[in-house]
Chain A
């Protein structure tokens, strides 16, 4: 299942600090269709808490998170 995650849009959020990683995800979420996936790569450790919280608040879903060296990768699915 997890292997099937094909991002429709990739965002490079490395180097950005609060609140920009979640703001950039929110600004781009409507660029993918409902059901589409954004792959966002951030370097701010705070985004580990912020982006999943943002998804719960807005009714979207973080379907997968992973570490990539020093970075945090989020697969965010647009649900509405």
Chain B
């Protein structure tokens, strides 16, 4: 009984900034939240893109700005991991998904927020890639490290790396 009372938890490392992988991450996150799990998403490296505000650029140093430029903007600018073709693949996928009435990534991210999914950027990769907290959507409150993630993962029914 006591075990039943304890809220079930899911935790996820989102490493990728690829469109298709972000779909997987946000669909599993929203599905888990709907099924009654507390969900923690930890965004690191290219995954930080998923939390970036629309229209901001990142980086100060030459290398930092290069990373920002290659990264190409916010979640709506994410390219598929295959079939990239300099943005063609993204355009095609968007068109096909729109025809089939699949939610867009910004819509899924908003749904995750609405369902209480907690999203945290990784402080170390923020420093390396020259992101500041203001570059992220306002729903992001804390920037955390691996210790925080391990604590969450150790309490989770399952953990994923995407």
Which A positions have Cβ atoms within 8 angstroms of B?
A: 15-20, 22-23, 25-27, 50, 54, 57-58
Contact = CB atoms under 8 A, between A and B. Distances in A.
Contacts, number: 36
7 contacts: A19-B27, A20-B103, A20-B111, A23-B115, A26-B34, A27-B115, A50-B31
Interface residues of B, number: 13
Interface of B: 27, 30-31, 33-36, 100-103, 111, 115
A26 B101 CA distance: 20
B36 A23 contact: no
B101 A19 contact: no
Contacts of B35: 22, 26, 54, 57-58
A26 B30 CA distance: 11
Nearest to A58: B36
B34 A27 contact: yes
A78 to B, nearest CB: 13
Nearest to A57: B35
